[in-house]
Amino acid sequence: MSTPEHRQLAKAPIFQELSTEYVEKLLAASEIVDEPEGQLLFSQGGKPEALHILFEGAVELWGADRNGKQTLVEVVHGVDSFILAAVVTDAPYLMTARTMTRSRLLLIPADFLRAELRREPALAMMLLAALSRHYRDLVRQVKDLKLRNSSERIGCFLISLARKEKKSGRVVLPYSKRLLSDRLNMTPENFSRAVTQLQTCGVRMKGMQVVIEDLDMLARHCRLDPLLDPPGEVDRKARA
């Protein structure tokens, strides 16, 4: 039986190679929820109760220190999972999750998923591959933050958007400049200065609209690296 939920779950990177019958088993044990914009899904330090798979919408992942200072770690778009490592290891959440838009999610109970990992080799291999991808994405994010300046990080993000949207010269920012500056580890003031610097590479930003006059010039400025910037990937980092 192929339901809309089955087809959506099958698109999730961690479940693409599982059989139809096994995906149906996961669906039968899970809950599908529709959440409004701004809904808190879970809080940093809490005990993982379910693996979250986002079907539709967007979810922001935040980290905070003991003094309450917050930073945006990632924005997740459907179809994808997040907080997999916390669920697999039964460790406290390292981030807080909140919906940015109306969102539809599948919640697979954590206890059920861990039990299935011991019984089902195919699922264990799929989740091991997913955790490996997340680790490599995290390494790329750390290298991006440590090896590139502000304008280079913004430029690489814009190039990744252009690749994803397949619009070589025009992209739309997926969320506000304030969130984007936080995501790229810079103050709003540094973000504005970096955008101004990118004008010499033919980048024009007006509101949420961005025009890139010469992608090759921008790539040279950003020192694009195929190991650090794999084609077609954007916002797929740090979802442990």
**Domains within the chain, CATH numbers bracketed:** 4-144 (2.60.120.10), 149-222 (1.10.10.10)
How confident is the model over 195-210, as a mean pLDDT?
91
Chain centroid offset of residue 80 CA: 8
Which residue, among 24, 89, 19, has the nearest Cα to 51 in the 3D structure?
89
CA distance linking residue 51 with residue 70, whole number of Å: 23
| pLDDT tens readout for residues 135-166 | 888 888 888 888 889 999 999 899 888 887 66
pLDDT tier, 236 (very low <50, low <70, confident <90, very high otherwise): very low
Contacts of 176 (CB under 8 A, 6+ apart): 208
Average pLDDT over residues 112-134: 90
What tokens does 228 get? 């650090």
The one-character DSSP state at 15 is G
pLDDT of residue 225: 79
Residues 6+ apart with CB under 8 A from 102: 34, 35, 36, 37, 56, 57
Q: Which residue has the higher pLDDT, 239 or 69?
A: 69
Find all residues with CB under 8 Å of 32, minimum gap 6, and list them: 5, 55, 104, 105, 106, 107
Report residue 238 as tokens: 């740090």
pLDDT of residue 50: 95
Q: Which of 30-34, 96-100, 213-217 has the highest mean pLDDT?
A: 96-100
pLDDT digits (tens, 9 = 90+) for 109-118: 999 999 999 9
Query: Residue range 195-201: average pLDDT?
Result: 91
The band of 231, judged by pLDDT with boundaries at 50, 70 and 90, is low
Q: H or E stretch including 118? A: helix 110-119
The more confidently predicted of residues 223 and 116 is 116
One-letter amino acid at 53 equals I
β-partners of residue 109 are 50
Rounded to two decimals, the pTM is 0.77
In this prediction, residue 234 has a pLDDT band, given cuts at 50, 70 and 90, of very low
Instruction: Retrieve residue 36's tokens.
Output: 């409004």
Least confident of 22-36, 148-162, 184-198, 216-230: 216-230
Q: Which residue has the tokens 């999750």?
A: 97
pLDDT over 80 at 86, yes or no: yes
The answer to whether the CB of 61 falls within 8 A of the CB of 75 is yes
Residue-wise pLDDT tens digits, 8-64? 776 676 777 778 788 888 888 999 899 999 999 999 999 999 999 998 999 999 998
> Is residue 237 over pLDDT 70?
no
Q: What is the pLDDT of residue 168?
A: 64
Reduced 3-state DSSP string for 21-86: HHHHHHHHCCEEEEECCCCEEECCCCCCCEEEEEEECEEEEEEECCCCCEEEEEEEECCEEECHHH
